[in-house]
Structure 1
Amino acid sequence: MTTRFSLIFFLVAALFSLALLAQGTKTYKEPKFDFDWSNPTVYPDRIILNISEDPAHSANITWRTSTKIKSGVIEYTEASADPRFIMNAFRLAATSTSFQSPEIEENKVKSIYHSISLKNLKPATTYAYRVGDSERWSEWFQFTTASEKAEEKFSFLYVGDAQNYILELWSRLIREGFKTAPDAKFFIHAGDLVNNAHREQQWHEWFTAGGFIHSMIPSMPTPGNHEYQPKSPSEEASKYRSLSVQWNPQFNLPENGPKGLEETTYFVDYQDARIISLNSNVELERQAEWLDSLLSKTTKKWIILTYHHPMYSASSGRDNPKIREIWKPIFDKYHVDLALQGHDHSYARGRVSPGENLLEGVNLRDQTGTVYVVSVSGGKMYEVGGDWDEFGAQKERSGGNTQLFQVITIEGDRLLFESYTAIGELYDSFELIKTPNGPNKFIELRANAIPERVNTKK
């Protein structure tokens, strides 16, 4: 009887397992990261090329090691096809800073961050560099400086929130972006790079997911609300939200913004475009004054802004009226061309148009003011929603449950915007054409509707 019972039990269990395989798994098991997974070693890691204030003549680089490496150096030179270019490398000492935050429970890692700014570089030139401590070195990386020719064509990448499932799912997105636009000149990250501002493991996921891409395409990050969190879980500390303790050590960004907001509010002039990062988390009024003054002096043809919280939300119940009240008049005053945003974990694109201009039909060729885009690159999704009409704008494209990256190309009077999925499919596209007098000409390149689905949240 016992043998017969065991046989029956085995057959039932086997049939049950086959049934589960036929149905597929219904639960997702997240990977486990051991506590020491994100610990630094004596070898350079988290090597990142940061956007600089003058990308035609300078480049900023940071990396990390364990505390055993007290100082860092960089070797760099003009790259060539002949591998003997390495014999011509210049060596410079980096600024090395100890990093530890014992007061933060989720961040007890001790490390050294090394940072350097390369100056007096030649425009439109490919350079190679490696970092280390004179004995332990990274591989050689390459990057190309901006051209001094204002009208020369260039492209850059833009993504919304990485935030969740960073190593699991954001990795495929950023790598597909690199595959689609390998010659992109910089990479805009519109906030919420991680979910928990001070957590070392998540920052390690972000750097690991991007890998060598971070080391070859300059990053231009702007902080999201998830880059601002209390340093302590205590009730008193919860009243205060601090910028990620890793932000300033690991990014070496322009310090040309308002005092106290350096490396979160800043601008870059790339050929004939002024690209501006705003910090939508704090001090909106003071940034508005700075932005007004900054835009009143620029002669650049294109003005592109990036910040985290959308002027017009892509999801219901997430409106940001204060940002619209304080910043939008300045956007309108100086005819900002494009606003690149995150936060809402879905996709939306629309615009504000002047006067009686109509926004109807297919293959539109009409005038437009600022085009606003909200996008998401990570694996966490929200429901699509939000009514732009009541706030004076029209949403022309929206969708959800889709990881996206954007390629933006500027050449003279033409700006081409393309949004792609994580599997490389074109999702949305339009052009802006500069006119001699008056607003931009808007050309819809892909207006077919994609069904909006109810999305899931983590």
Structure 2
Amino acid sequence: MFNLKDLFRHRSWLVHGLLTCLLVGFSSLALANPVPYLQSATPDSIWVSWKTASGSDSLVEYGVTAEQLEHKVSGNVQTLASDYLYHSVQLTGLKAETRYFYRVTTGNQQSATYSFMTPPAAGKNDGKLRILVMGDHQIRNQNRYSQLVNAAKNKIEDLYGEPIEQALNLILNDGDQVDVGTLDHYENLHFAQSSAISPNVPIMTTVGNHEYYYDGNLANYQAHFIYDGLSYQGIAPASDESYYSYQVGRVLFVHLNSMRTDATQQQWLSRVIAAADQDQQVDWIISIIHHPYQAEQYVGDISKTLRDSWMAILSSTRKHVLNIGGHHHLYARGQTREWPTYHMISGGTAWDQYWGQSSEVDFDDVQKTIANWAWQLIEIDVASRQMKVDTYAEAHPIVYKTEGFHLHSKLIDSFQRRLDGGQPNQPAIQNEITAPVALPYDFVSSSFSSAYPDGLNSTQFQIADDAEFKQLRVDRIRDIENIFGDTGAPLYEPVDLHANVDIMTWQVPAYGLPNGQYFVRVRHRDSNMEWSPWSDSVNFEVQGSSSGDPALKLDNNKYASGAMVKVGYSGGRGNPTDWIGIYKAGDKPQSVRATKWQYVPTPAGELSFTGLTDGEYFVAFFEKDSYEEIAPRQHFYMGPLVQLNMAKQHFNEQEPVVINWQGSGAGSKDWIGIYRVGQTPGGVGSTKWQYTTSAEGTATFSGLAKGYYFATFMINDGYTEIAERIAFSVGAEIASVSLDKQRFEQGEAVQVHFSNGPGIAKDYIGVFRQGAIPGQTGSELVTYLYFDGAVAGTVNFEQGFEPGQYFLAMYTNDSYDQVSNRACFVVGNGPLCGAVAGLSVGQQDYETGQAVVFSWSDTPGNSKDWLGVYKIGQEPQSDYATKWQYLSDKQGSLSISGLTAGDYYGVVLLNDGYQEATSRVTFSVKAAVMAGDLDGDGQLTMQDAQQLRAAFGRCEGDEGYLPGADLQADGCINFVDYGKWLALFRQQ
């Protein structure tokens, strides 16, 4: 218990805590008059928000000087609680890159006069863009975050010698703006502690996990932040505003929601990135997400969806240069292994996080992890197409408790990206190898060289069994610095693990490779994140090492009481004091003595152990009388062995599954678990389970879905199996096969996906001609592929097929017993399988704005049969239909309007799916000449308006004059032309 004596012993903590409370109190008092909060700025608009305890009017007065606030705009108010009124006013009709002065008023409450700068126009190709990045807040009752905000503001104003609103364009928060999503935390944490800067620079937030606490549907988040009006290329944000994108100048910002990683968000992201990749007015993409790409502390607490899927989508364009994450309350920075993309953690000032608290791993795609509270300044030089990111630290969380913010905006990292850089020169392995090598052995790379000004950042060495480098033994990226860990008390300075490492040399240690033939290669990465080509590979042979990687092998993993345990070993070091020990489960070698042990002076052999009592054990392999393990452990059980049996192995759906057991030790936590074939107990949860507290008995399991299963018997609430598994199935035609498409070109490879297979070694995918009867003469297999008993995966028929219709299915155990659905496909231009319906289009060529008429007949007449219109080159299911409609009957006609210029095809698809019921009919849409359609897409959109605004003030002969924007035909472009355009826009 923390008593009064303890309190005075920690008087430095007491003083700091009292000062913190006073500062938070003063902050709240300072907010008695409204303090504005800026967000969602565009070149011609901005949202101004503020909170009051009373008063329903929402007024903003603004102008281009502080003395003349001649414009007045009213907005709306939300009553979020009886004393919590949230006001929002959008200022519109503003000019890009212009400084405005303003104040807000509610009743007799009036703010001070502040100023802000509007952002540059989309696509503007000069100037600089500066972005401040700050992470997690979370601590409501201390002023940590407000200190960080003030420190960043002071440093930036000092760097550029001008007010923050003129030095900075935007602030990015990467999530956890609150500790819980209550009104109290929004008011007294995010808004109060951002108040030194929020009236001057727009802040854009990201959803973190803490926004969902006490606010599971993000109602309070949506009430405070106004992102629903933002879109990019007409691609709307999430309906709950939890992910969105917007463009500033030539930069696209993409805010993602790591708490809701569903297919809808992924499809949205794919559309945004595909559009940006083709957009000549976007050079840079910066993504923001709360859970990061990688973390070296609290390992695994990351966004696996970002790492496994979304980063590939983001980096499918080289415009994506930086991914910003938070969640970990520190600073970290790394580079993706293949793409020229940085990933960064900006962890703000939230709950203390430092070295030694958690599981920690030094990853080679993280260059530095520094446990400081820090912020980042991103500067993009638009004309030179260069980005620089500087990180400034303010405090270490432990030192902060006695010294406060003690680092005083210390620069701790700087990195850059130039879009117009190129590859470094190809390196070479310097070693001249003319004879087998003995380990240890050093491979040496040639020096780094490049035609570009960027220096060396990383090397990557690979050693493989094969010349194609598919079977890798070594695959290691090392950076010129590797900041991991710190010096501890009192300074907690970061430590560079590569301070004395020559990353141009890779040493294979003694016994690091077994005897055999290998290939080695190297490549270099520069400080602009560009990889060189791989060096030419060098072949070498290792002799005098082990015969293989160190390994242990048991003759069984469960033994009857008192049985002999045989342990095979191979790949040993051959030292006379290498040894094998047997330990009880849970024992830690060195902390306790081995239950049994023996020396193994030879590299390979077999040992026998007797005299073990009943229980759970593991076997470990050690080197040179030490406790350094050189092989993976092997686990086993000794004791009563259980017999499992079932009356049958095949069950109908909804039929109870009955399993009998006998011979157990009747442990209170022994249990039977049911798993799908291919699953590993402990790796995944069981599908069904029951405790078995008697020596024998019967367990009944109901509600099993269709599938292939096995049952096993385990002990002590763990995953040690003490019975032979028994396999069974529920339902018929359990497995499934699918194709990404139904139509293939002659000779094209056919890729087949499969799942829920029986898991038998000689299961296979067989392909037959349409109409064949598998197993009958004259219906022979066209071809087949085994897949080694996998229960799920993909196989590729690389040889391709002749024109015609085919079907394929999964067959089990080298038989013609079909255990999956059939998937049909066609090769060439013939009709798809089962496609007997007809479809036609009224004409081959249309103009934009003209309806395209389709007629169909002989369709099945399902209520969800539909007509899809796709651009040539797109495929149903892989791509969204450009337009679609459900069909009203088995035959009829319909019209599709609103198609932009391009080449298309129409097709009828069945029952809300993607099975094509007709041939594809093609047609073209050509752009019609339309007044005000400046980008020639056949429709009036805000893209046309932006082009018109960009041409304001230009006359014939001027650079940038657009004849199509001169709607009044007087030779100049002005507001009258815009008024005419707006009238046309509203009429369409």
Q: TM-score range by the shorter chain?
A: 0.7 to 0.9
Counterpart of 1:141, as a letter, is: Y
Deviation at 1:115, TM superposition (A): 0.6
User: Is the helix fraction higher in 1 or 2?
Assistant: 1
CA distance in structure 2 between the partners assigned to 1:59 and 1:186 by the alignment: 12
CA contact (8 A) 1:49 1:60 kept: yes
Higher relative contact order (CA 8 A, sep 6+): 1
Structure 1 spans left out of the alignment, 5+ residues: 1-15, 101-108, 232-240, 355-367
2:438 is aligned with 1:452? no
The corresponding residue for 2:36 is: 47
Flag the 1:259–1:146 CA change in 2: closer, same or farther, 3 A: closer
Which of 386, 394, 397 in structure 2 is aligned with 1:414?
386
The corresponding residue for 1:12 is: none
TM-score (norm 2): 0.37
Deviation at 1:454, TM superposition (A): 6.8
CA distance in structure 1 between the partners assigned to 2:342 and 2:484 by the alignment: 20
Which of 40, 46, 63 in structure 2 is aligned with 1:77?
63
CA distance in structure 2 between the partners assigned to 1:438 and 1:118 by the alignment: 46
Counterpart of 1:180, as a letter, is: K
2:237 is aligned with 1:264? no
2:131 is aligned with 1:161? no
CA contact (8 A) 1:316 1:386 kept: yes
Flag the 1:92–1:386 CA change in 2: closer, same or farther, 3 A: same
Counterpart of 1:65, as a letter, is: T
2:312 is aligned with 1:329? yes
Deviation at 1:85, TM superposition (A): 2.4
User: Is the strand fraction higher in 1 or 2?
Assistant: 2
**Is the partner of 2:312 in helix, strand or coil?**
helix
The corresponding residue for 1:316 is: 298
TM-superposition CA deviations, 1:283-318 (whole Å, max 9, x none):
432111111111111221000000101121242331
CA distance in structure 2 between the partners assigned to 1:293 and 1:76 by the alignment: 38
Flag the 1:411–1:308 CA change in 2: closer, same or farther, 3 A: same
Deviation at 1:379, TM superposition (A): 4.4
TM-superposition CA deviations, 1:91-123 (whole Å, max 9, x none):
1111112112xxxxxxxx632111111112111
Counterpart of 2:409, as a letter, is: G
Superposed counterparts of 1:35-434, under 5 Å: 44-52=33-41, 55-67=42-54, 69-79=55-65, 83-86=66-69, 89-100=70-81, 110-133=83-106, 135-148=108-121, 149-164=124-139, 167-181=142-156, 182=164, 183-201=167-185, 203-230=187-214, 241-243=216-218, 245-255=219-229, 256=231, 260-298=238-276, 299=279, 300-317=282-299, 318-335=301-318, 336-354=320-338, 369-384=340-355, 387=361, 389=363, 394-400=365-371, 402-412=372-382, 413-422=385-394, 423-434=408-419
Flag the 1:161–1:259 CA change in 2: closer, same or farther, 3 A: closer
Flag the 1:42–1:190 CA change in 2: closer, same or farther, 3 A: closer
TM-superposition CA deviations, 1:150-201 (whole Å, max 9, x none):
3311211001111125642111111111112221111100001111111504
**Is the partner of 1:328 in helix, strand or coil?**
helix
The CA RMSD measured in Å over matched residues stands at 3.4
| Matched residues, number | 393
CA contact (8 A) 1:223 1:264 kept: yes
Flag the 1:135–1:328 CA change in 2: closer, same or farther, 3 A: same
**Is the partner of 1:214 in helix, strand or coil?**
coil
Structure 2 spans left out of the alignment, 5+ residues: 157-163, 395-407, 425-451, 458-479, 490-988
* Sequence identity percentage: 21
Flag the 1:380–1:441 CA change in 2: closer, same or farther, 3 A: farther
Deviation at 1:24, TM superposition (A): 5.8
Counterpart of 1:405, as a letter, is: W
TM-superposition CA deviations, 1:249-273 (whole Å, max 9, x none):
2222343365654432111211110
More deviation, 146-155/172-181 = 146-155
Counterpart of 2:344, as a letter, is: V
CA distance in structure 2 between the partners assigned to 1:29 and 1:191 by the alignment: 26
CA distance in structure 2 between the partners assigned to 1:202 and 1:123 by the alignment: 30
More deviation, 428-437/264-273 = 428-437
Query: Computing the radius of gyration over CA atoms, which structure comes out larger, 1 or 2?
Result: 2
**Is the partner of 2:100 in helix, strand or coil?**
strand
TM-superposition CA deviations, 1:123-145 (whole Å, max 9, x none):
11000111113643111110011
CA distance in structure 2 between the partners assigned to 1:42 and 1:175 by the alignment: 16
CA distance in structure 2 between the partners assigned to 1:352 and 1:41 by the alignment: 44
CA contact (8 A) 1:51 1:186 kept: no
CA contact (8 A) 2:37 2:49 kept: yes
